[in-house]
Structure 1
Amino acid sequence: MANHKSAEKRAKQGEKKNLRNRMVKTHVKTAVKKVLAAVTEKDENAASVLDMAKSAIDKAAKKGVIHKRNAARKISRLAKKLNAINKANA
């Protein structure tokens, strides 16, 4: 347990950051699931859902919640799935 004022402050800041990080990660996971659902259903709005997911992932990377390469990899894989569906439909 924290014994000094600065240590107590750092512990409180850590709790706040932990809460924010969990919220942002949950938002990213939900966005990814929506894209995957749209791709499996071959929804015509899948591209707009992907754009929203890209935004959420990029914001998470910008805030430092996930690494920038992790964000790029997630976006790349989602786009690859969407492109495969579009190619199959064409």
Structure 2
Amino acid sequence: MANIKSQIKRNRTNEKARLRNKAARSEVKTHIKRAVASAETGAETSVEDLRTAVKRLDKAAARGIIHKNQASNRKSRLVRRINALTAAATGDSSEA
């Protein structure tokens, strides 16, 4: 346990930030899973779910919760995955 007053305060603020960041990362994962699930089922809301997932990734990157390159990589993988799912659902065999 810290004895220095400023370090005690830093420990409190770090804990608050850790919990806030944990909640934001969890929300990002939830929205990504929701977007993939709606693309698999072919729901009408799949486009909106994808848009929301991308928005949450951008917000997390802007707030410094995840790195901007990590957000970019996740968005790229998510869009590629959803495009593959929708292509498979429509029966397009043009993508290999």
TM-score over 0.5 (shorter chain): yes
Structure 2 residues without counterparts, runs of 5 or longer: none
- Give the Cα–Cα distance (whole angstroms) in 2 for the partners of residues 18 and 84 of structure 1: 35
Rg (Cα) greater in structure = 2
Backbone CA RMSD of aligned residues: 1.4
The Cα shift of 1:47 comes to 1.1
Q: How does 1:45-64 map to 2 (within 5 A)?
A: 45-64=45-64
Query: More deviation in 41-50 or 55-64?
Result: 41-50
- Give the Cα–Cα distance (whole angstroms) in 1 for the partners of residues 26 and 50 of structure 2: 16
The Cα shift of 1:39 comes to 1.5
Equivalences, count: 90
The alignment partner of 2:2 has SS state of: coil
Deviations 1:4-51 (A, max 9, x none): 111011101110110101110110010011011012112232111000
Moved over 4 A (4+): none
Structure 1 or 2: more helix by fraction: 1
- Give the Cα–Cα distance (whole angstroms) in 2 for the partners of residues 31 and 70 of structure 1: 16
